[in-house]
Every structure is written in structure tokens, then in C-alpha cells.
């Protein structure tokens, strides 16, 4: 069990996104950032999601349905 950085709830480890990006500082690499529920809430509030295209992060605006489908696709 681990506490979420954003909502402070305790969830099992599979509820978290691991950030293993090559662009991270080595000390922060592989540490959990936030639970999947907080990620979904943040994406819905932002009305889109961020993904990587050709090594760069891009923000894509999407409807609530597309955000939820993308969330379960990962």
C-alpha cells in the first residue's frame, strides 16, 4: 500500500502510474507520482490528455468519452 501524492488515499501499487521517462532526473526516475483516479480526474478537468509523439509530449483536447477510453486503453 502506498499513499497518493495528490489525494493522500492509500491504494495498492497497481493503482499508480510509474514515471520511468528518460527525461526525468535519475533521483526521481521510477517513483510513483499519483494514483490512476487522480490522473483521470485531472485529465477530465483539463479536457484532454498528454501523450508522447516522436519523443515530445503533446496535449490533445478530447471529450470526456475519449478521455475515459484512453484511460482504460493504457
What was the pLDDT predicted at 24? 58
Q: What is the pTM of this model?
A: 0.66
Q: Interior CA angle at 10 toward 51 and 28, to 5°? A: 45
User: What cell does 59 get?
Assistant: 496535449
What was the pLDDT predicted at 4? 81
What was the pLDDT predicted at 63? 92
What was the pLDDT predicted at 57? 79
Give me the residue spans of the domains in the chain.
2-73
**Which one, of 5, 31, 9, lies nearest residue 18 by Cα?**
31
Q: Tens digit of pLDDT per residue, the chain (74 long)?
A: 888 878 888 888 888 776 555 555 565 555 657 788 888 888 888 898 887 788 787 888 999 999 888 888 76
The C-alpha torsion from 23 through 24 and 30 to 36, rounded to 10°, is -80
Amino acid at each position: 500500500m502506498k499513499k497518493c501524492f495528490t489525494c493522500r488515499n492509500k491504494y495498492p501499487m497497481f493503482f499508480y502510474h510509474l514515471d520511468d521517462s528518460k527525461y526525468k532526473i535519475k533521483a526521481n526516475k521510477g517513483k510513483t507520482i499519483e494514483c490512476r483516479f487522480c490522473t483521470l480526474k485531472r485529465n477530465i478537468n483539463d479536457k484532454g490528455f498528454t501523450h508522447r509523439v516522436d519523443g515530445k509530449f503533446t496535449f490533445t483536447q478530447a471529450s470526456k468519452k475519449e478521455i475515459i477510453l484512453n484511460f482504460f486503453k493504457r
